[in-house]
C-alpha cells in the first residue's frame, strides 16, 4: 500500500499523518503527478479558503490531475468542497467531480460550525460505524445534499457530510481529528 497526501499548501497534513501512523501506515506528501498517480490511495486534504486553494492547484496542474485519478481518493473538508462544481467562497469554480454546489451557512447559529456533531452515514466509508457517531467539523460553507451524498449532518439544515462517486470519496468532517470513529473511517478508506 502506498498513500499519497496531495501537497498544495492548504492542509491539515500533520494530523492526517499522525492518524495514519496510528493505523500502522505511512504516507508521502507530494505535489508530483507521477507520485500521486502511482499511489494506491490518495488523500486530498484542505484547510483554508477555496479560491486561493484552487489557484494553488491550478499553478501545479493538479486541478487537471485529480479528476483523472483512478485509485481511491478521499477529499477532507476543503478538499471535498473543491471536488464539487463550485463554491460561494471566493466565487470558486471547483473540480466538478461531485455535481453540487458549496454555499455559506445562513443560519442564526454560530458560524463557523465548529465542534463535534452527529453524522448519519451509509456505504463503504461507514462500515462498522454506528449511525449516531460524532465527528469533528469546522467550516463556514457546506455542500448541498445531492445524489452522491452518503452522510448527512444537521446544523439547522441537513448538509452533505460525506459523498461518494466511483473512486472518489469526501468528508466535510475531519476523520483525522475524530477519535475512534474517524480512525475506523480512515481504515475503511484504506481497505478500498
* Active site positions, annotated: 77, 174, 176
- Distance between CA atoms of 146 and 159, rounded to whole angstroms? 9
β 134-139/113-121 pair status: antiparallel
The helix/strand/coil state of 184 is helix
Phi-psi region of 9 (alpha: psi -120 to 50; beta: other; left: phi over 0): left
Mapping DSSP to helix (H, G, I), strand (E, B) and coil, where does residue 36 land? helix
φ, ψ (nearest 5 deg) of residue 123: 90, -175
Grid cell 472518489 is found at: 168
Place of cell 475524530: 178
- Beta carbons of 99 and 148 less than 8 angstroms apart: yes
Rounded to an integer, what distance in angstroms lies between the CA atom of residue 181 and that of residue 192?
17
| CA 148/CA 15 separation, integer angstroms | 27
Amino acid at each position: 500500500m502506498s498513500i499519497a497526501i496531495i501537497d498544495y499548501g492548504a492542509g491539515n497534513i500533520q494530523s492526517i499523518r499522525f492518524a495514519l501512523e496510528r493505523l500502522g501506515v505511512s504516507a508521502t506528501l507530494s505535489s508530483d503527478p507521477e507520485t500521486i498517480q502511482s499511489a494506491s490511495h490518495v488523500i486530498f486534504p484542505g484547510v483554508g479558503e477555496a479560491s486561493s486553494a484552487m489557484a494553488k492547484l491550478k499553478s501545479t496542474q493538479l486541478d487537471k490531475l485529480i479528476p483523472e485519478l483512478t485509485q481511491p481518493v478521499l477529499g477532507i473538508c476543503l478538499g471535498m468542497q473543491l471536488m464539487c462544481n463550485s463554491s460561494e467562497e471566493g466565487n470558486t469554480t471547483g473540480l466538478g467531480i461531485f455535481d453540487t454546489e458549496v454555499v455559506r451557512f445562513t443560519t442564526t447559529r454560530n458560524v463557523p460550525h465548529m465542534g463535534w456533531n452527529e453524522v448519519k452515514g451509509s456505504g463503504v466509508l461507514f462500515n462498522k460505524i454506528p449511525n449516531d457517531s460524532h465527528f469533528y467539523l469546522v467550516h463556514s460553507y457546506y455542500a448541498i445534499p445531492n445524489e452522491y451524498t452518503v452522510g448527512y449532518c444537521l446544523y439547522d439544515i441537513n448538509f452533505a457530510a460525506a459523498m461518494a462517486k466511483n473512486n472518489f470519496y469526501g468528508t466535510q468532517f475531519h476523520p483525522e481529528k475524530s477519535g475512534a470513529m474517524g480512525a475506523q473511517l480512515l481504515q475503511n478508506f484504506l481497505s478500498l
